[in-house]
Structure 1
Amino acid sequence: MKERKNEAVFMAVVVLFWFAQYIYIPFQTTYLSGAGAAASTVGTIVGAYGMAQMILRLPVGVSADRVGRHKPFIMIGALAAGGASLVRVLWCNGVGFLTGNLLSGLASAMWISFMIFYTGKYTAKEQQSATGRIVMFNNLGILLGFTASALLYAKIGMGKICILSVAAGCAAFLLSLLLREPEATGGGYTVRELLCVCKGRQLWMFALVALIQQGVQLTTTMSFTNQILKNAGATDGVVGISSIIYMISAVLFAAFASSEICGKKGPGFWIPVVLCVVAAYCILAPIAGSVPVILVLQILPGMSTGILFSYATSEAMQGIPAEKKSTAMGFFQAVYAIGMTMLPAMTGKIIGVSGIQAGYLVLAGIAAAGAAATVMWYKRCPQKT
């Protein structure tokens, strides 16, 4: 009973944390563009979120393994999520969003501890199912944030939307105080011994898959696709609905990823197939030309977030010793943060010179290359399928 209560509190913290992190996201790009920011500047601001994670995630993972505890890192993450939006409230401009995104990146760097805190109690066979579950609640928090944003943005504006983010971050912090964690078990390895886990080929391979998935998602669905919708004549309300469709799809596909039905095909099937779906989305979204068609297309990146990210995470962690998992997870998340940093900035520059379609075609090529690489990986390593 106590374990169930602890899990319920933890999942509530997860939902509130991601609500705080993403409630302002559907309108971030259009808000900054409307304030006069160039596409390249918007790309840099969006990419700052990933840059902070890229720098911090591996040190956070090593620190968590050394300390042997995760609750303090969860608490820091919740406070940073609320604090980031407090900065956005005080300076609701490009500088404020750049600073806020750096703080949000610090908050998301702590997601390592959220993941290990939850999945660490499950066996190797249960890892994919457990990963799918926590990703589902992660996406549920984002969905609730997007829904609130869609319903309220036109009425209350960006400043008050960010106040709701501050409130959610504070609530997540207060609830995290109630979490129960076993006694600390860290300290058995030196930093060098912990970092040796980062040499694993499988960890590298699926970190790169996640780099593509997360980078493309942040660049398109979370950013420039909203601009495509606005260019096609969509209102702010429709932009919000687009984000809701995407997140409902992500929640449902994450639930599917944790099911036995999905598990029968396995990662060797789903990872390359969904990467091809990502490539198709990048080709179709900028040429759709119709708001209803773009809204339907938002289902496709939901499949990417729900299935591809879950499988990439669980595959990367295969065979990692429990006492080194935070370091491995830190490395994994730091690598995909490179995609969250570089791809928005790169795409913003391409869009500024050659237009949105050119930027999206480059992303489609990257996703297709990832699909080809994973097909080759599973042909060489069929036992991993």
Structure 2
Amino acid sequence: MSRKPIFAPARLFPGVQRRRSLIALYAAAVFLFWAALYLYVPTLPLVARSRTDDLAFVGVILAQYGLWQALVRLPVGIVSDWSGRRKPFIIVGFGLAALGAWLMGSSADAGGLLVGRAITGLAAATWVPLVVVFNRMFPPEDAVRATALLTFVASASRMVATGANGWLNGLGGYSLAFLLAATAACIALLVVLPAHEEALAPRRPAPRGVLAIVARRDVWLPSALAGVSLYAAWATTFGFFPLLARQLGADDVTQSLLTSLNVAAGTIGNLLAATAVLRIGSKRLALLSFVLLAGSTALAVPATSLAPLYMAQALGGLASGVAAPVLMGLSIQKVAEAERATAMGAHQAIYAIGMFGGPWLSGILASAIGLQAMFAVTAAGTLMLGVLGVRLMERRQDG
């Protein structure tokens, strides 16, 4: 009895015969999905701040996005592998993205913002099956390159979405960005809905097997480093940089430009990662990204004008753009295709802890010692943990 090949993209959706059509279809859906999650992000901290005077609670609201991803992403990966299906999870995720954006845009209090942000965190957990579906369109040895391409599409979407935020706020107030985000999510759902999915053979989850994947050092160590990188990003760009920028005189358009600059630099970082990984190597690229990320955060410490924040956003975005695909690709590179959704779920659940911890702990620190002192602590911690983690990966490789 012949065995079905693992790499058979044309069989995933019989109605679409060409691999390029599959890639374009999911790239469009991914673009709309991330636009739905980021159209309101540049000024979301300001909206939260307008609903509460407590910086710690602002951090709690912002942390919901990462918290629910940390809780749900691994189970999504496990159940996706178990059922052999990816598309139902993707459709549900797009629907949740629309619901969360609508709820935040229509809410008049901090509680509604918190619930809506939690729902968008659940939506973002469907990045697990999206990444796995996209990776199936490429040979296993091209995992890093495929992930870099998908991350580039996501980054381009975030760049457009965050860049439009300030203009949208001026056009229709803060609620308009939330409404358009909900609309983008609905369109993404319609884009992917007609695609027929041929399911993989169901795999009953074995607790020991799941634990074995999560316990693999080549899975959890790159994932932990990704968590450190995202801790810094969500403590700064998507956390408390907007509040510092407002103190330094930034209006909504400037806030949008600052965030868009970070995302644009991240997009460049994605492109560089896809080619530089072949010349420099994954470990060196990861180390460079942490040095740049710590340095960018440190620039905000003595800032008395917006100029250092522009530099910080550019360097931080470049660093994050390099780190994300490299660390994500490393975490699944040696994992069998049938177990990749579980491994990707583990990777994203672990790094989502950083997305939760960044705004949460930073909000507590900012309340206790002030914004700029908090950035100093974040920079030092990012550098130390990043260097230590990369050295551990190198030591494992040498051994």
Shorter chain as normaliser: what TM range? Answer: over 0.9
- Aligned residue number for residue 278 of structure 2: 263
One-letter amino acid of the structure 2 residue matched with residue 366 of structure 1: G
- Are 1:21 and 2:51 counterparts? no
Aligned partner of 1:311: which letter? Answer: V
- Contact preservation (8 Å) 2:290, 2:387: no
TM-aligned CA deviation for residue 383 of structure 1: 5.7
Match 1:130 to one of 146, 152, 156:
146
Percent identity over paired residues: 25
Question: C-alpha distance in 2, partners of 1:211/1:284?
Answer: 21
Which residue is equivalent to 1:323? 338
**C-alpha distance in 2, partners of 1:27/1:234?**
11
Partner of 2:197: 181
**Which amino acid is the alignment partner of residue 272 of structure 1?**
L
Aligned to 1:30: 46
| Deviation at residue 262 of structure 1 after TM alignment | 4.0
| Alpha-carbon distance, 1:131 to partner | 0.7
Q: Deviations over 1:199-221 (max 9, x none)?
A: 10121111110111112111201
Structure-1 residue corresponding to 2:299: 284
Structure 1 residue 148: Cα displacement: 1.7
1:5 to partner: Cα distance: 1.7
1:377 maps onto 2:370 in alignment: no
Give the Å deviation of 1:189.
5.0
Given the superposition, is the C-alpha separation of residues 288 and 71 from structure 1 closer, same or farther in structure 2, using an over 3 Å criterion? same
Equivalent runs, 1:183-332 vs 2, <5 Å = 183-187=199-203, 190-259=206-275, 261-332=276-347
Q: What is the rounded CA distance, in whole Å, between the counterparts of 2:135 and 2:295 in structure 1?
A: 32
Gaps of 5+ in 2: 1-16
> Could you list the runs of 4 or more consecutive aligned residues of structure 1 that deviate by over 4 angstroms after TM superposition?
none
Corresponding letter in the other structure for 1:52: W
The reply to whether residue 347 of structure 1 matches residue 375 of structure 2 is no
1:382 is displaced (CA, Å) by 4.1
Shift of the alpha carbon at 1:283? Answer: 1.2
- Asked whether 1:166 is paired with 2:155, we answer no
Give the letter aligned to residue 304 of structure 1: A
Residue by residue, what CA displacement relative to the aligned partner does 1:16-74 show, whole Å, maximum 9, x if unpaired? 00000111110011122133331101100000111111111111010000011211111
Contact 1:273 1:371 (C-alpha < 8 Å) held by counterparts? no
Distance 2:97 2:40 in 1: 12
Deviation at 1:369, TM superposition (A): 1.7
- Secondary structure, aligned partner of 1:185: coil
Q: Which of 133, 146, 154 pairs up with 2:162?
A: 146
* Alignment partners' CA distance in 2, 1:31 and 1:39: 12
SS state at 1:212 partner: helix
Q: CA deviation at 1:291?
A: 1.1
Which deviates further from its counterpart, 146-155 or 77-86? Answer: 146-155
- 1:5 alignment partner, one of 21, 33, 37: 21
In the aligned structure 1, how far is the partner of 2:192 from the partner of 2:109? Answer: 31
Per-residue deviation, residues 205-243 of structure 1 (Å, max 9, x unmatched):
111101111121112011211111111111111111111
Amino acid at match of 2:301: P
Rounded to whole Å, the distance in 1 between the matches of 2:154 and 2:202 is 27
Unaligned 5+ runs, structure 1: none
Residue equivalent to 2:12: none
Q: Secondary structure at the match of 1:381?
A: helix
Further displaced range: 46-55 or 365-374:
365-374
Partner of 1:45: 61
Could you say which residue in structure 1 is the equivalent of 2:374?
359
- Residue 305 (structure 1) shift: 2.4
Shift of the 330–375 alpha-carbon distance from structure 1 to 2, 3 Å rule, reads closer
Contact 1:6–1:179 (Cα < 8 Å) also in 2: no
Counterpart contact for 1:45–1:97, Cα < 8 Å: yes
Q: What root-mean-square deviation, in Å, do the aligned CA atoms of Structure 1 and Structure 2 show? A: 1.7
Instruction: Give the corresponding residue for 1:82.
Output: 98
SS in 1 for 2:173: helix
Provide TM-score, normalisation by structure 1.
0.95
Q: Distance in 1 between matches of 2:59 and 2:128?
A: 25
**For residues 173 and 229 of structure 2, what CA distance do their matches in structure 1 show?**
30
Contact 2:299 2:308 in 1 (8 A): no
- Which of the numbers 90, 93, 96 marks the counterpart of 2:112? 96
Whole-Å separation in 2 of the counterparts to 1:112 and 1:68: 13
Deviation at 1:191, TM superposition (A): 4.4
Q: For the residues of structure 2 that align with 1:93 and 1:143, how far apart are their CA atoms?
A: 28
Which region of structure 1 is more displaced relative to structure 2, 50-59 or 186-195? Answer: 186-195
Report the Cα distance in structure 2 between the residues aligned to 1:93 and 1:266, rounded to whole angstroms.
48
Letter in structure 1 aligned against 2:179: I
Q: Deviations along 1:330-372, whole A, 9 cap, x unmatched? A: 1111111111112211110111111012211221122112232
